[in-house]
Amino acid sequence: MTTNVKASFERLNAQQKVSVREDNKRLLVLAGAGTGKTSMLVVRVARHLIKDKFNKNEIVGLTFTNKAGNELKAKVEDIVGRDVANGMFFGTFHSFCVRLLRKNHESANLPANFQILDETDKKRLLKSIHSRDKDSDIALAKLHAKEAGWTSTQLKRRVDEIKFEYTNLKDAIKLAIEVLGYAKNRGHGVEWIESHLSELAFKSSLSQELCEYTSKLAKSYESEKERLFMLDFDDLIIRTNSMLSENKILRQGIQNQIKALLIDEFQDTNVIQYDLMKLLINRQTMLTVVGDEDQLIYEWRGAILEHILDFCTKENGVCIKLEQNYRSTKSILCAANEVIGNNKNRHGKTLFTANDIGMPIYQTFYSNAYDEADAVVREIVNLHRDGVKFKDIAVLYRNKSMSGAIGNSLHKHSIPSVVYGGMAFWERLEIKDVMAFLKWVNNDSNALAIQRILERFKVGYGEKKHIEVTQIAEKDGFTYGQALLKFAESGKETALKAALKTILAFKESATKLYETKGIHGLVSHVVSRSGLLDVYKKSEDQEVVAERHEHMLQIVENAAMFTHEEVDADDKPLDDLMVFLANADLQVEAQAKKGKDSDCVSLMTMHSSKGLEYEYVFIIGAENANFPSPMRVSQREIEEERRLAYVAITRGKKKVMMSGARQRLNKTSTEMSLFAKEISTKYKIFSDKSFNSFF
C-alpha cells in the first residue's frame, strides 16, 4: 500500500501536495475546473490512514452524486487496496443518512423497514390525497343533500361542481412538490409553506384558492408520510439532523468515530447539508471541503454561496487553491478566466495550463435557430470526417427548449445523438413495477407500492376500493395488505376479488421464497412469474416488450451481484432486501438511452454538463435574449448565470464554439450573449451571419 501511495503522491503538482500535507483541522481546497481535485482527495484519504493513523471506519467522504462517490472509492481502492477501502464510506449525503437512520432507527423514531419515497412515489401520494379530498367533499355533499331533501338533479349539480373545482386544483400537486422541496432545502417547516403561499397568492397570478389548497395538501402529505413511516429524499437529511441534535450521546459517539470528514463540491451545499456537516464533526475532526465558488450554479436549488466564501472565517480554516488545469487549451482557459473575472463574489483564482495555446473560441451569430442548428451539424460532420468520434462532441444549451432545432438537424443528417439526463434505469416503468413487488414483500403496509401493482394489472381496483381497504386497515388495525386480503375474501365473489386473491397468493409465495432463496431468488421469481411481461405484451409492440424484458433481466443480475456491509446498532447485518431497496431508491444518476460507450453526440443543458468534459463543445443559444436568462435580473442572479457560462466553456478540451441567433422561439436578439462579449478578441474569432445577402 505504501508504495502505491508514494507513487500517487509524487504524481501530484506542488499545490496538490500542499493540500495533502496540510495539518490544519479545517481545510478548504479551492479546486478550479479540471485541476485534479479527485487525485488530491484520494491521496489525502491515504494520508489519513498512514500519517494520521486513522482506522478505515473513521474516514467518511460525502459527495453529491453516486457517480462521484463510486469514482472516489474506486480510486482509493487502487492505492490502498480493496479490504481497506471497503471499510470506508464514500457516497452521497442521502446514502450516508440512510445508513445512519437504518442503524439508529429507534433514536429517529422510525421502524427498521421505513420506506423511502422517490419523486414518482411522492407524486402518487399527493394525487391519492387530492383524490381522497375530492371524494370526502362529495360524500359530505351527499349527506347534506339527504338532510336538506335535495332532488337528484340538485345533488348531481353539486357533485359536478365539486369535481370541476378539484379538476381546477390539480395544479396544486405540482406546486406542492415544488414548494415542499424549496422549503426543506432551506430549512423551513410546513408553517413557512403556508405563509409563503399566502404571499405568492398576493404577489403572483396564482389564485388564493389554489394556494390555500396547496398548503393544505402539503400538510396532509407530511401527516400521511409520518403515519406510514415514509421519508422523501429531503427528509433523510432533515430526520438525521433532528436525531443527532436531540440525542447528545449518539451525536458525540458519531463525532468521536469520524476522525476525518471529506466533502466534495462543497459550493453546492444547502442549509440542511451544512447543518449535517456541523453535527458530524467536533474540534478534533479533520474536515476537508473541496469546491469551486466559480462553479456554483445551483443557488436556485438552495445552494448557499457564503458556505464556501466564508468557510475559513467561520471555521478558522486554511484555504489552498488548485489552479493548474489539465483539461483544456490555453485559449479556452484564458477565455473562461476573462468571463468569470467579471464576478465580484468570489475568492479569485486564475486557471493556467501547460497545454498548447490551441484554437480560439469561435463565435457565430445566425439569423435563426435553424440556420444555427444546420451550421453546427455541418461542423460536426466535418469533425467526424477528420476522425473525431461523435462521443467526443457535446452540444450545450441554456434551456431544454433550445434542443429542438439541433435535434432535428442531427436526425436529418443521420448523426447518432443522445440527450444526457434521459430516463434513468431505476426510473423506468418496468423496473419500478418490479420494485413495487419487492417493496410489498418488504413492507405489507406500503399502500403506494400495492396500488401501483394493482393499477398495472388493471384489475379494476380504483380509488374507491382503495379508500374502502384503507378504512378496513384503520378500523381493524391491519396492514394494508392484510386489509386487502380481508376485502378479497369477504362478501360476494367478483372478478376483482378473484384477481386480488391471485395477486395476494403470488405475493405470499414470493415472501416465502425470499426466506429460503434470498434476494436473487426473490427478484428472479418476481421477474419471471409475476405476469408483468404478459401485461406489457397486451398493450405494447414486441420491440418495446423485448426492451422492457432486457431491463428486467438486468435487475435480476443486479440482485445476483448484490452485497452490502450495513449493520444495525448491535453490529448485526441488516436485511438484504431492505438495503437493496434503499440502494435502488438512492440511484439518482441519469443514464443515457444508449450505452456509455456508444458513439453519439451528447445533447444537454449547461447545468447537466457540470463534471463532464468533451474534446469539442458547441454552446448554442448564446444570444442576449436568452443567456443570461431573462428571468434572472439581479446582480446575484447574473453572477450565477456567468458561472454557468464558465462551467460550459471549461467543459471543452480542444475547441469551444459559441453561437447565437437573431430569432429563436419567438424571441429577437440583437447580438451575442453578454458572456460571449466578455471574451476579448485575443482569444476569439467572431462572425456575423445573421443577415441574408440578396446579391
Confidence band for 399, pLDDT divided at 50, 70 and 90: confident
DSSP summary character for residue 152: H
Q: What is the mean pLDDT of the chain?
A: 91
Among 45-54, 199-208, 531-540, top mean pLDDT goes to 45-54
pLDDT for 550: 81
What was the pLDDT predicted at 352? 96
Separation in Å, CA 380 to CA 158, 271, 327, 398, 589: 61, 43, 21, 20, 28
pLDDT above 50 for 693: no
Q: How confident is the model at residue 422 (pLDDT cuts 50, 70, 90)?
A: low
Residue 156's contacts (CB-CB under 8 Å, 6 or more residues apart) are none
> Residue range 107-116: average pLDDT?
92
Output 695 or 652, whichever has higher pLDDT.
652
Return phi, psi of residue 231, to 5°.
-130, 135
CA geometry: angle 80, 84, 88, nearest 5 deg: 110
What is the per-residue pLDDT across 241-296, written as a single tens digit (0 to 9) for each? 999 999 999 999 999 999 999 999 999 999 999 999 999 999 999 999 999 999 99
The rounded distance, in Å, linking the Cα atoms of 89 and 573 is 16
Q: Which three cell numbers stand for residue 336?
A: 473562461
Residue 400 DSSP symbol? G
* pLDDT surpassing 90 at residue 543: no
Tell me what pLDDT residue 414 has.
Answer: 85
Structure confidence at residue 584 (pLDDT): 79
The closest alpha carbon to 290, from 53, 616, 27, 491, belongs to: 27
Q: What digits encode the pLDDT tens for the residues 440-476?
A: 999 999 999 999 999 999 999 988 899 999 999 999 9
Mean pLDDT of 523-540: 90
What's residue 361's pLDDT?
97
Provide DSSP, 625-663: TTSS-TT--SHHHHHHHHHHHHHHHTTEEEEEEEEEEEE
pLDDT of residue 43: 96
- Is residue 545 pLDDT above 90, yes or no? no
Q: Which residue has the higher pLDDT, 422 or 689?
A: 689
Q: Are 291 and 267 in contact (CB under 8 A)?
A: yes
pLDDT tens sequence across 588-617: 333 333 445 578 999 999 999 998 999 999
pLDDT band at 512 (very low <50, low <70, confident <90, very high): very high
Give the pLDDT mean for 368-394.
Answer: 95
Q: What is the pLDDT of residue 190?
A: 85
* DSSP codes joined into one string, 5-51: HHHHHHTS-HHHHHHHH---SEEEEEE-TTS-HHHHHHHHHHHHHHT
- Nearest partner of 272 among 62, 422, 42, 511, judged by Cα: 62
pLDDT of residue 120: 85
How confident is residue 29, by pLDDT bands cut at 50, 70 and 90? very high
| Phi-psi region at 244: left, alpha or beta (left = phi > 0; alpha = psi -120 to 50) | alpha
The more confidently predicted of residues 614 and 429 is: 614
Q: Where does the pLDDT of residue 424 fall: very low under 50, low under 70, confident under 90, or very high at 90 and above?
A: low
Q: What distance in Å separates the CA atoms of residue 653 and residue 33, rounded to the nearest whole number?
A: 11
At residue 305, does pLDDT exceed 60? yes
Q: How many residues does the chain have?
A: 695
pLDDT, tens digit (0-9, with 9 covering 90-100), for 86-104 = 889 999 999 999 999 999 9
Helix or strand run (H / E) with residue 602 = strand 601-605
